Every structure is written in C-alpha cells, then in structure tokens.
Chains A and B, each alone.
Chain A
Amino acid sequence: MPHDLARAALSGLLHRTNVPKEVVDYIIFGTVIQEVKTSNVAREAALGAGFSDKTPAHTVTMACISANQAMTTGVGLIASGQSDVIVAGGVELMSDVPIRHSRKMRKMMLDLNKAKTLGQRLSLISKFRLNFLTPELPAVAEFSTSETMGHSADRLAASFAVSRLEQDEYALRSHRLAKKAQDEGLLSDVVPFKVPGKETVTKDNGIRPSSLEQMAKLKPAFVKPYGTVTAANSSFLTDGASAMLIMAEDKALAMGYKPKAYLRDFVYVSQDPKDQLLLGPTYATPKVLEKAGLTLKDIDAFEFHEAFSGQILANFKAMDSDWFAQNYMGRKTKVGAPPLEKFNNWGGSLSLGHPFGATGCRLVMAAANRLRKEGGQFGLVAACAAGGQGHAMIVEAYPK
C-alpha cells in the first residue's frame, strides 16, 4: 500500500539525516490517486515510521505537482513562523490503484446496509443486474475535457510542429543521461526498498537506452494511426515515494546541519486545461525568474518534469516564441528556451519514471545535487500538472 512506500522514504530520510524525530514539527505528503483506506497517507506513514504521534501530518494533492505543493506548503509554515522543521514528500502507488464498483452497485450496497427487513433486502437484491459488476477504473484523463493526457500531449506536439524524430531523439537523450548518471553513482538520492516477498529494488528500473531505429518502430499510443507520442517518448507510470527535510536556516545551523540548498522563490500558474494542459513550465518560468530578479542566463541547472518528449519540446518552442508570449501570456517578449547542455543532465521523468505525487521532491533534489556536483548557484525546477496547472521554483546552492 502507498503508506508502505511513503514510510520507507521517511525512514530513509531519518537514516540519511539523523534528524531526531521529535524535532520534526509537521509532515506533509503529496499524492494523486488516493488509497481510500489511507486518505491522509502522510499521517499513516509518519506513525508507521515511528515519528512522534504528537507530530501532525496532512496530505495535499495537485496532480503531478503534489510533492511541490507539499514542499511549498512547508515553506509557508516556516515563513509564517508556524514551524521550524518540516518533512515534505510525496508518494504514488501506480501498481495498485483503487478500482471501484459501479455507481449502481455502490448504491445497491449502501441501500442494503440501510434496509431493515428481509423483504426490503430481497427486493433490493432482485434489482441486481449483471452490468452492476462492471468496475470503474481511474483514468489518466482530464475530468473537464475527458481527454487523456497522452492525447493532449500529441495535440500539443502537433500545435508546435514537433516531429516524431525530435521526440524520439529527446527521449533517447533522457535515457542515455539517466544511465550515465546511474552508472557514475550520481543518483545519490535513491534508497533501497525491499518489496515484501520479492527482491530488493536498489535503483531506478525503468532506464532503457534504446536506439532511434527501435523507437521508430513503435506505433503511436494515443492518436492513432498517425500521432507522434509513443510509449518510448512518454514518461512511464511507476511506484515511488520521496521525502525531504526542510528547515529554517538558523534552526538548521543551530542544530549543526549544513544545508544542501535554499528553496527560494516559487510560483503556481494555471491555464486552459484543454489546449494548453501541459504548458505549465512555459507560463511559470518567466514569472518565477522575474520574482527572483533573475534571467534565464543566471540558471545553471534546469530540472523540468518530463511528462512527454513532445511536451518538453513544445514548451521549449513556446518559451522561444515572441508570438506566443505576446498573444497568450500577455508578455512583451519571450523568455527563451533553456540551453540543452544545462537541462535535465541526469535524466528525467521519461527515463527515471513518474510516480505522480512523488516527482516534485526528486526534481528539487536533482537540481540541488547537480548544483553541488557541477558547480553553479541557481537551479530552476518547473513542472506541468493535470488540470492545466504548473509550478516553478528557484533552488539556490548553499555556499560551501
């Protein structure tokens, strides 16, 4: 269950940081597809991980930026003086999603509960039809438009004239960089997880550098038969959990910690959930840069959530278009596309996987770790999310 993964992330964090459990003031987790038994998964995981039962915990949800929301909620609690020490994280268990009974079946079951006499019960049961048993599956589709995200991504890629080849090339880059980073031991934020009854997972298991020829053979997954988004150039759904320790600087120093990075400014944006569903980074990037008084040139490490190759490349084209900036974003000029040599250098969601609610912390940690490893002061994290929302955050390396 999700709280098991979340608990493992929490234990891993405790183990890595040696932070005493009692000093943690508050725990926040992000998640997207909720397990009904543990709807406040943050609390269940914290209790299981042995945190003090006096430490409150709550769960937030904002599609693929749920963990980002958990982190910024923590930042807000610290900034407003509510707390000093926060644990923020996220969890998603895609391999076991809640599948519900149909509405008719649910209604019958609830009515049965209320029925008082045998006669009432029998009359209810007599209304049963076989189609009541058809289950309801959660869909990766927008509620407001009923369009699946992959379909929207394909249309977005077409809007920005992103070719299949460009998408495959970008996906291959992501896998190659992830493999390289994994081989070089750069993905240091991973902790092993023992799957009950199975082997221990010690590393990301979705990294598969293939060849362009192999990738070109795949059929489109959403817009058939001529679309450009395929299984190979989309992020894959996976299980995962993440956790991060966020403290007020003076508190951390007083406790003898050397912080990795500052969480600086952040923004949330939202736009049309139909035609601009995945353009969050385009809208969020110029806003967060302006807020922080920075320009694109000041950024040394870009960490963007890779939902689809086509989505990343469409965002690049949108960010690099004056026409788009003027007509849709109400800006005078474009912000510009991030230079590829500074972009997702250790792989991204395409290759490392995308456990919805957990991805945000991974992005921020990757930015922080890259700044430490590669040198540089500022990192920029950006992500799109279902509902046509988006997020960006400036991460600053802590002076050595």
Chain B
Amino acid sequence: MVASRAIGCLRRFTNASRTLHCSGYISRNFTSSSALLARTHINYGIKEDVAVIRINSPNSKVNTLNKELQSEFMEVMNEIWASDQVRSAVLISSKPGCFIAGADINMIAACKTPQEVTRLSQEGQKMFEKLEKSNKPVVAAISGSCLGGGLELAISCQYRIATKDKKTVLGVPEVLLGILPGAGGTQRLPQMVGIPAAFDMMLTGRNIRADRAKKMGLVDQLVEPLGPGIKPPEERTIEYLEEIAVTFAKGLADKKISLKRSKGLMERLTSYAMGIPFVRQQVYKKVEEQVRKQTKGLYPAPLKIIDVVKTGLEEGKEAGYLSESQKFGELAMTRESKALIGLYHGQVLCKKNKFGMPQKEVKHLAVLGAGLMGAGIAQVSVDKGLQTILKDATLTGLGRGQQQVFKGLNDKVKKKTLTSFERDFIFNNLTGQLDYQGFEKADMVIEAVFEDINLKHKVLKEVEAVIPAHCVFASNTSALPINEIASVSKRPEKVIGMHYFSPVDKMQLLEIITTEKTSKDTTASAVAVGLKQGKVIIVVKDGPGFYTTRCLAPMMSEVIRILQEGVGPKKLDSLTTGFGFPVGAATLVDEVGVDVAKHVAEDLGKAFGERFAGGSLELLKQMVAKGFLGRKSGKGFYVYKEGPFRFVDLYGAQKIVDRLKRYEAAYGKQFTPCQLLIDQASANKKFYQ
C-alpha cells in the first residue's frame, strides 16, 4: 500500500552536474536574463512583475525536497523578496506529472540521532514559515504528484492552483512510512481543511485528487488539462497552468483577488463546532480510540500525529511546531519506521520487471474459470485495456463472474473515479464465453479453475490444442506444484504459475512461480502482465507451498495445535491480530476455506514431514467431512449464519422460557412462550444439531 502512495525516495544527486537545467520553451518568456543563474534544481525568470520559479531536479522523473533544492529555493526567495521589480511569484514544476513528490527519505535515513532529524524538521519549518509570511504573494501551480513535503510547501504558499488531472494528487503519506509531516504540515493542515479532514489525511496518508482537494479547500482553483494545440498536450497544459497562475499572482498582488474562501454550510458548521474546546476534546478522544482499535497500538506514528495536532491547537503554534519536530525526530528512529521504509523500498523493487521486456506484449488474455479468482483477474485486466476472454463451463458460473467484474467497475462509478461511459468502454474489453473461440489469438491464458490436479491437466491439454505457439499458460494455484501441472504440457517452457490473492482487485501481491523449464521470456511476460494489473510481484521457484504458503503453513500448523489444546478461535484471533497480523488466524482459515487449508496441509505435510506436524491434520479433515468449510459454507471455526433459531440454540431454550415466564407474570399474556419453545426446552433439544 505504501508504494502506491509513493513519497519520493530518490538518491541524492550529490554528484549531479551543476548545469542549468531547463528544456526548450521554458526560458522563452523571460524578460530578465540576469535571474537565470546556474542552479541545479531551480531556476526562475520574471514575467512583468511576477517571478516564475521553476523546479526541475536533473536526471530524475520527479522532484524531491532535498537539502540542495531547499537551499536553492531559499536563495531564490531571498532574491525575490529583495527585488523591487517583483511583486508576486509563481512556483511551478517543469516536470509533467510531478510537482514535488516528497522529501528525500535518504536525507532522514542518513541521520544518526533523533536530534539530527529534529533539526532537519526545524529547518523545514523555518523555511516554510518564512514563505507563509511572505509579503509578496506566492502561488503554487500544481500539476502531478504533490505529496509529503511537497504539499507542506504548497500549503505554505498564499494560493494554490492545481490541474484537474488524474495524475495530480495531493497528500501527506508520511504515516505510511511511520513518520509524520514534519515541516509544519501537522499545524497548517487543520487550519486549512478543518480538524476532521486533516486527521483523515494525516492518519490514512491517502491521496486526494485535485477536484476533491478543491472542495476541501486544499487548493483554490482548478485548471483543466488541455488537448493538443500549438504544442503537445502535456507541455501546453503546464504552460497554461503557468499563465493562469501568473494572472492570479498579479491579482493577489493588486489585492483584486481575495484569499478568503467561501465555505459551504457544512463546512461552516464543522468549523464552528471545532471552535468549542469540549467538541475538540471529544474529537481527539474519538480519533485516538479509532486509531488504537485499528493499529492495536502497534504503530506509534498515528498516535503521535494526534498528539502533535492537539498540542498545536490547544497550546499554540510555537508549542505545536516544537512538538512536531521533536516527535518527527523520535519517530524517524523507531524500528517501525525503519521497517515501513524497508517495505517501501522493497515494494518499489517489486514494481520493476527485472526479466526485461517480453518478446511479445500480451494484448489478448484469456481467463479460465469465472469464479471469485478468475473474475477478479479479469477485472484487473480489462481496466488496463487488455482484451480479455472469461471462459467458464456453465452459463450460471459465467454470468456470476461477469456480474462480479461489472460490479467492481460500477463501484468505481459510484465513487466517481470512473464515468459510466468509461465503465462501459472498459467492460467492453471483456468477452464472456463457454467455448474456446478466439483462443487462437490469445497471448496468455490464466487458468483459475478448481484446485484439482486432474482438472488442471484437462484444461491445460484442451487449451494447448487451440492456442498459438507463443501463448503463455499460467496457472493460478496456491499449492499445486507447477512442475506437476506442466508435466502434461507439450511446451513446458511456456507454463508458469501466477498465484493471485483474494480479493484480486484489492490485494496487491502476485506470486509468480517458475519451474526449471519455464523460459525467461515466459517469466518476463507474466511479470509484465502482473505489473500492468498493478501488482507487486515476487518471482519464486516451484517449491512446496511456493513462498507465501510455505511461510504461512508452519504458523497455521501451530495454530491448529493451539486450537486442539482448547484455545477458542476468538482468543486466537485477538492474539494474532495483537501480534500484528491484519486478519486473525482463525478468521483467515475460514476466509481461505477449511478445505483449501486441508489440501495445503496435506501436501506440505507430505513434503516436510514432522517439521509441519504441529497440529493434527485430522481436525481439518473432520471439519471438512462435516461441512465446516469456512465462510463459504456458513460455518468453519465461526458460525456465520445468524438467525433467531440459532440464537435460541446458543442462548438456551430453557433460559428464554424462564425469562418469558417472568415477564408474563409481570406484564401479561403477550409474553407467554409458545409450545414449540417449551417443548424444545423440556427436551433440551436444539434446532441446529
């Protein structure tokens, strides 16, 4: 999750050549060339009386707030403040798709003590405070990612204009790295968007799109992205954004544009309520409760964020800034933060295809089996533009799968991340069918049929009879050895495992399994498809349980043992979530399916013998035999059917009868228990045996 909300983490360019970095059109409109000093990350020019400051870090796709950029920025601002010619300024990035992606993580990683990190934070705070107090208005013109330190910089400016582009996202994702917005963000955001929205942003780290940001009051104006005109769309859009920003900068300097934002009724009510100390205290309490519930107290950053915000609001700015920088220092040194940053780096690595470009790009995909997994795989494929066939054996199964894909897309329409037209256009990429028509064009087939080796063999043979020579056959399995599946293949070099996790559209991980015979190009192809589907990918060898199941299985074996020793599933769940697992162990087995767990346990038990012999397989076998298959069958370690009769069973018929009789005595006949209930109680029988 961290990776998708990337905060820039670039190597510092200590060796970057100190050359002027500005591409073609950028300097054309400058009237003053003296301002064009050779700087590495920033250059600026003057349009009439507006200074246009352009950020463009060399040799990188993104701008990152590092020491050099910061010092260059301050240099430039000092010049602007000193200049008589300049009355206002515009701050803009020359990179399409990125304003400033965040602070340089390595800058923090290089620090040895919390005090060092605190100092970093204080430098940032001072810089942004100076900017905030600027007597010449500064307009941040935002196109592309504006995250972390980038957003903290933007909200220190007097005005913000953003392009209404899908690539333009604003957010403070620091919490996902176990730290907090350490350059005044915790203090300015509550002022700007209100306390509840600020908490939401800082505690979830979520990305906010430009139109939403406008509604929240995070940006003041939106600029629509342009199509082709006198220049390519991206280039012209940035230029247009700059033109508009310059107009607003002038307007602000001339006091023609008011900085006050007209607030909606709800907003005014909220801000009124937040003015009452008692209400604020309740909000802090509520937010903290929620955080504690969700994190089980395992993550220190969210709690510190609440603390810092509270300090700023209750004890004043100075105390707030001090608290922010100190807590920032403390958090940066925690092992939680180091682990989250490690996870982030790992995810970045897993978003690259180290097997190179496949010889043939996959454009036509076929998925076998329209169950939960198959339809999920189809969904994450069609919305990336892959022409996808979804094949099932029955019309009912296929219809269910098609509906799943449609619902997934339609939910996005409801959330307004897709228009209904886009939904229809995407859904059109899906072809549902019961036969193998069109498979002669498929570049890849992913089978997601039932986990049964004979069935997998059957479909592999059927598919190989109809697909072209270059087509990859991928098997979605959680435990069946890919070697064994490939044993009946005429072309084992084209067979690979792609292990998705349920629900496919939410779970980021994809485990790709290669056999000794799998060719490198096949692997490259599978990784390319996975990346296109937005997955974080690990590529592993074909061992028992692959990687993920191999990791999980020993734990689950011990979990069974604990259950056998008489620990209840609820207790087990609370123990495991308390340790840090997002889903409790007993619930996990129910979700995955007891039968699947049994399969895995059997297979791995054979492979590893006594190393996996903690719990008894018998328990799982008996559960399966009695129909306790987990959530899908309504009962597993937990019972999922909840009705009045089951309540009677659980509570005890006798107890209910006793209670009703007491009420009857007190209130009258309406409480007289019925005959069935009395029979049930006297015979000590249950509705569900």
Contacts and interface: CB of A to CB of B under 8 A. Distances in A.
Interface string A134-165: 00000000011110000100011011110000
B221 interface: yes
Contact of B228 (A145, A161, A275): A275
Contacts of B224: 151, 155, 223
Contact of A314 (B229, B232, B236): B229
Contact of A158 (B229, B232, B247, B419): B229
Number of chain B interface residues as a range: 10 to 19
A161 B419 contact: no
Contacts of A314: 229
B240 A146 contact: no
Contact of A275 (B226, B244, B419): B226
A321 interface: yes
Contacts of A170: none
A225 B224 CA distance: 12
B247 A276 contact: no
A155 B163 CA distance: 12
A272 B229 CA distance: 13
Given A143-B421, A144-B421, A146-B421, A160 B240 contact: no
A159 B221 contact: no
A222 B248 CA distance: 18
Number of chain A interface residues as a range: 20 to 34
B228 A276 contact: yes
A145 B422 CA distance: 9
B421 A272 contact: no
A155 B230 contact: no
Contact of A274 (B227, B232, B240, B247): B227
B247 A159 contact: no
Interface in A268-295: 272, 274-276
Contacts of A321: 230
A158 B421 contact: no
Interface string A313-355: 0100110010110011000000000000000000000000000
Contacts of B221: 225-226
Nearest to A157: B229
A364 to B, nearest CB: 30
B250 to A, nearest CB: 12
Contact of B229 (A146, A159, A225, A274): A159
Interface in A249-282: 272, 274-276
B230 A160 contact: yes
Interface string B234-253: 00100010001001100000
A155 B227 contact: yes
A87 to B, nearest CB: 37
B233 A275 contact: yes
A146 B228 contact: no
B180 to A, nearest CB: 36
Contacts of B232: 327
Interface in B402-460: 419, 421
Nearest to A162: B229
B656 to A, nearest CB: 35
Nearest to B251: A226
A317 B229 CA distance: 8
Given A158-B240, A226-B221, A226-B244, A272 B227 contact: yes
Given A155-B224, A226-B221, A226-B244, A161 B421 contact: no
A337 to B, nearest CB: 13
Interface string A157-198: 011110000000000000000000000000000000000000
Contacts of B240: 158-159
Contacts of B244: 226
A161 B232 CA distance: 13
Interface of B: 221, 224, 226-233, 236, 240, 244, 247-248, 419, 421
26 contacts: A143-B421, A144-B421, A155-B224, A156-B229, A158-B229, A159-B229, A159-B233, A159-B240, A160-B229, A160-B230, A161-B229, A161-B230, A226-B221, A226-B244, A226-B247, A272-B227, A274-B227, A275-B226, A275-B227, A275-B228, A276-B227, A317-B229, A324-B228, A324-B230, A327-B228, A327-B232
Q: In the A-B complex, list the 3 residue pairs whose CB atoms are closest, starting with the nearest.
A: A275-B227, A159-B229, A160-B229
